[in-house]
Structure 1
Amino acid sequence: ERCGMCDNCLSEKQEKIDITVPAQKFLSCVFRTGQRFGAAHIIDVLRGSRNQKVQQFSHDRLTTYGIGKEFSKKQWSHLSRQLVRQGLLEKEPAYGGLKLTQRAGEVFAGRAKVFGTIQEEPLAPARAETPANYDAALFELLREKRKALADAANVPPYVIFSDKSLIDMASFFPQSAARFSDMHGVGQVKLERYGAGFLEIIRNYCREHNLSEVPASRSTAPARTSRKTPLQKLRHQVVGEAFRGGASLEDLMAEYGTKRSTLISYLYQYYQEGQRLPAERLLPASQLPPAQREKVLQIFERLGTQKLRPVFDALNGEVAYEELHILRLYYLNRKKIK
């Protein structure tokens, strides 16, 4: 299916995007499993499989276990082949085990980015249920804690906990270690390593705001039901209406099991049909520093938004296309309000 975002879409060519973060996840998992396993096993670890081989080698206790559930096996396999082609991984001829190359160190250190493609997947509801109505204030406190731990350990925040894990915590308010371990992405290792610190924040917040733990039976099924896709609606319309209704990109990524760039493409289609999106909620999706964001917006003002290639070239290729898609959507909706 066409992505609907890139300027080359009509020619059936998929534009390369910044895939540094998923590449780091994959490379990190290769390293932590000992650089002796093939792609299939690495993918099982990233996706949180409980198969015999993962448990036999205790790879369900690694920090990279379960951090890659946002992509399917097929998508991870496609990404792993790109990492081999780009010289970041070497495949052992006899058994297919993957090893890091010297170039991979540059990616780990943040001195090099990785560009490639993520295969499109049909937009279907994910099996895991992600609450739509979480406490935003608590989520921010938990995110601050995650950032502090990540900075201290010199690792990316997702290695501590994913956004989906924090959303679960800010939805169900776990008060005990046992309940905390029910949250998405919380295994025994992370429970022992981080549980006490996060539980303290949650308990204090609940005391201050007179909140109590939400039992597992009181999930957010009603909120999900309200967002079921009617057959008569196109997917970009469903995503657009959900985003306008308060769902974040992280909510929608978890609910539909798709990646952020795909959701941005649906929001752009939604905008092109004359619908307005809340610009103030689009801007946080950008990971660029404020000064660089402003520079991109100024170039949009000068060159227009119909094609992104001139903007990409004007920025000397320093800003990934995915960022340009996000900021174009923000720019257009900001102007629409004025």
Structure 2
Amino acid sequence: MTSTSTAAFPSLEAALKHFFGYDQFRLQQRAAIEAVLNQQDALVVMPTGGGKSLCYQLPALLRLGVTIVVSPLIALMQDQVEALNNNGIAATFLNSSLDLMEARSREYDLLQGRTKLLYVAPERLLSENFWPFLTRLQQQVGLAGFAIDEAHCVSEWGHDFRPEYRQLHRLRSAFAGIPMLALTATATERVRQDIVQQLQLQKPEVLVASFNRPNLYYEVRPKDRQTYGHLLQQVQSINGAGIIYCLSRKRVDEIALRLQNDGIAALPYHAGLPDLTRAENQRRFIRDDVRVMVATIAFGMGINKPDVRFVVHYDLPRTLESYYQESGRAGRDGEPAHCTVYFGYADVSTVNYLIDQKPDEREQNIARQQLRQVIDYAESTVCRRQIQLGYFGEFLSESCDRCDNCRFPKPKQDWTIEAQKFLSCVARCRERFGMTHIIDVLRGSGKKRIRDLQHDQLSTYGIGKDRTAEEWKILGRSLLHQGLLEETVDGFPVLKLNAASWQVLRKQLTVEVAMPEGLQGVATGTTSATEDGLLARLKALRKRLADAQGVPPYVVFTETTLRQMAQRLPQSLDAFARISGVGSRKLEQYGQTFVEEITAFCGEQGITATATPPPPLQTGDTHAITRQLYQQGHSPDQIAELRDLRRSTIIRHLSDLIEADDGVELDDLVSPERQQTIWAALEEVGGDRLGEIRDRLGDGYSYDEIRLVRGYYHRAKLES
């Protein structure tokens, strides 16, 4: 490919379908692409699996010149180049894995305008030997732009700071006028400001997509002597690839060996292994030769595998940000995935030891505050997704129903009076102290520091003696997680009141708190045996094709695309082309092979007619849009994200559609066993008093389930 322009396509969506096979953009992708095409600097923050790469890959194909992509890891750039080449897109990389002859050949192709994207590490990009080539490339072919991937590495406040990234600001002075796009999956407001400043972005378009990953289920389990047995059971029960993170190399080797002895195809990955062994283990995992990778955090950004079905932290994560990043390696294809933390206090001592090895006291203070945030997350009884999103400054207004605390909620109590005491004490202490000091004042501590500060003279001194320190700590955490209180994050956590705090103090808001209880497991959804059978065959076909080409299976097609094939059964090339993820190149390369496999399967199963593709999306009827997205295989959470609506709104749509018998199957959304129990409660109480029905069923049943079953209940009553 030499050059392309937007004029070659009637719309950006047409270009998206042609090159990548997708029909529509995800949230913020279009805005980012338009900014790049308008030669504007931009900072894009999208969660893992949110489609960051497309934000620079598509503009690179629509503009003259070469786009330079700065990537920190060899494995990551190689994976992306493989995927692009397989899609018929001219991309290449220059790194230390190439010999001199191969590097010169690639440089020649670049200078001849045969390549559209060049991936390089920051060290090579900024080296004196590479600079003349870059200048020549600009003069001879032109530079379309710079894309700085994993841009959080620029900031010392990010979870993976790399000093060499600090030098990338030199691009701005040397190549003035060339637009720069910075991209990262995780960045707090402070990190975003630092990225803009360090890279010297000029009036950038800052696009922050939601950090919410609705397809991920989060849970915390207690860590005890039976933990390995629980882990083994979990690995055996989940069908698909997984990553298990451990804090030490010794633990990685131990868990990997035990899994192997128990019949699980698992491999270790850590910095103590030879480079060739690490690379080979990673390659085998990415290409589905083994199912499980047991790793330290060294196994991180280089993983470009979209179909990871579970991520387990066998040991405690170091920070909430690193946990979000590491757990986010699950479910990048948008399919359901499971994220588990095993929490034990022995791990806290291990992490504290690692913190003590840091040479700078300020770094130690920050790290300890970050560790406390992780412990708060593990011990919390509120929605885990709310805690994660709150860390990044995003507010989730309702429970997620996709974590253990929401699925199995603990009984809540009205703690409004206690909350008023707590917040009043923060105010009396002039918002200058942390949680431990506030609790000491409330409980009437005789500590010398309390007396020296004369806080034993405050009206709030001793008014909380009737509650334990642990109960006050749980309340304090809950206030923070619910957005009713704030805390500084510079290593010296100080509690601060906000507008919501004053609403509680003025009795305008009530506060409910749940006390911790034992943790439970999670139910999983089901699919039809026919669909599962075809999906297994399509995966096997994908693996054979990938092995023949020497590429990871997801480069051929993602699991999401295979699942659509299994659901819609395309038995012609026209029908196959309408599958999301099938572009013109892949249609030509794989279409006939997959259509023949699907046709053969349908013949064996006695399925004679090709499944009807969903009709074009209509914009006039909101229920029809929800129905069509549901029929395309999207979950309620995914539909809510795609439509930018509340999940509760989508549930109401689905309930109405079930009641109208309009294309939605209740069995897909609520298991038959739970339907029977809810039905019995509806018969006993009646269909209109949801609160009373929920009380009768107990906390194990959600309002969403009741609404969905009620839709079918109303339909049955009308028909009878």
State the TM-score bracket (shorter-chain normalisation): 0.3 to 0.5
Greater helix proportion:
1
Q: Which has the higher contact order (CA 8 A, sep 6+)?
A: 1
Greater strand proportion:
2
Larger Rg: 2
